[in-house]
Structure 1
Amino acid sequence: MGIRDVVFVYRLASPELIRWHSRRHTHGEDEYELHYFLGGEGHFETERHRCIISHGALLFSHPGELHAIRPGDIRRPVSYYAVLFHVPRESPLRSVVESRPFRNSFPRMAGSRHRLLFENLKTGHVHRTLARRHAADHMLYSFLWELSAETETDGAGNRDDYNVHIARAIRLFEENLNRGTTIAGVAKALGITQAHLTRLFSDHFGVSPLQYYRRMRMDVAASMLLDTTRSIKEVSWELGYSNPFHFSRSFRQYADMSPQEYRQQYYRNNPTRYATRLVSVGDHPSRS
């Protein structure tokens, strides 16, 4: 089993990106896909279902299944992760992802609790070292078995168990990505102490609020580097950095490579961008 590609799309709004990411498409034999939505307005369509996109929705597509993201009001742009992976027939996981109970357990409502996992999958997959890429593969492998275990326990792990203060804090982080913020200011806006906010993030995510905010900011930077033609300097300004060198230093701490190296590494590993087979409206997906 291995990851073929990981994409993070932040605020899907430009006409060019909407055309690309909302196309109807399918994947090849042995290829499966997880979509994890962070918010926005729209629908996720498959051959079997049409699901409303909502915060924390986790969806699954199997080989040959026609699917598409249909953005709604562009004033509420969609943000999401997509992980394309292959599971060979000889893998013990194959019977899990092919089982009817597993497929029927989606969509699942996961809240914010998987965001760092998907971020780690993305950064690990494009890392320059083979060990980090293998680690990302095993992280996904473990996650899929956890999803299977939740299915066997009647979906006990599906409940959206993130705290309301965490949800509001993340929203404030998102609203201030290009202006900067302080944890003390967020805690004050929520009406709780900074210590309480820190404890909530530590309990749910294993990181402090400041670490979560910084990683969110760099995750958005990575999306801009891959999904736009902005220069490094333009990306840094977009995220509120007055000094591009400060931005590059922060990004290197996040991805273990410079912004330019990150962009080059991704396209070197994924020369055709996302590994999909396009299907025109009205066409039937090829099963060959």
Structure 2
Amino acid sequence: MIVTGVDKVKFVDYTKSNDFYLFEVGKYKCGPGYSYGPIVRTRTIFHYVLSGKGHLVIGDKRFDIHEHQGFLIPARVKAYYEADTEEPWEYAWIHVDGPRTLELFASAGITLENPIYNPVSDSSMVYECIAEIFRNSDRECFCYAKVYEFFDYLIATSENQVKNDVDPRLAYVKSAISFIRLKYSEPIGVEEIAAACGLNRSYLTRLFKHATGYTPQAYLASYRIKKASELLLETSETINSIAFLVGYSDSFTFSKAFKRYRNESPSDYRKKLGKG
């Protein structure tokens, strides 16, 4: 992580998905009149405004933007943006690119001609997805799934949603992720996840891997290790107890899986953090 004043950013290079690539997430609290550009970016970037206001200029068009709105800067397009002098904005951003990135933004009605995201309902989950990617930037599988959720929330809440063009795969992937997050502590597998989504196992696996670069089983394992890591850090539960709490039938299988993802045992991870 690089921190400069109130600027926080994390860089990654995740390009396994067939739909989108992820390169960077960050957050910035601007000073009065802070500006950026004119600049032509090599990758698409989306900003979500947390507070304050400012404006974006693309070509000869100016767009005034305020809290809870967002704006897109497509790759290879000259753009300039500036914070308000009295109420400067604070925003989070995500650098994405890849085969279907512009198509997915277009499903939310966000295009070069109309680069503004204007939500008609609670858009807090759009920011939360970016924040989760920032907090878990070292976990590639988790980040892919979160980018898919990001697009799903963006489309669902956008005033300019193109209803007929919304890809149904977004809903399937979101359903699979939601089921995993709800049931990860139980002895579930791909069959149960697929049944919950109303799909057969092979189709869900193909769909999920196309979208995220990983299988549903890999995401389930990754999510279990994430929750286990939190329990190791935040509680005094035994290793054996944590294994059961995150869906493993025994501590040996859990420890083996944990070491595969974290490159250290659960007990070593806890000791390293001063919790042992």
Shorter-chain TM-score tier? 0.3 to 0.5
Higher alpha-carbon Rg = 2
TM-score under structure 1 length normalisation: 0.44
TM-score under structure 2 length normalisation: 0.45
- Please state which structure has a larger fraction of its residues in strand: 2
| Greater relative CO (CA pairs within 8 A, separation 6+) | 1
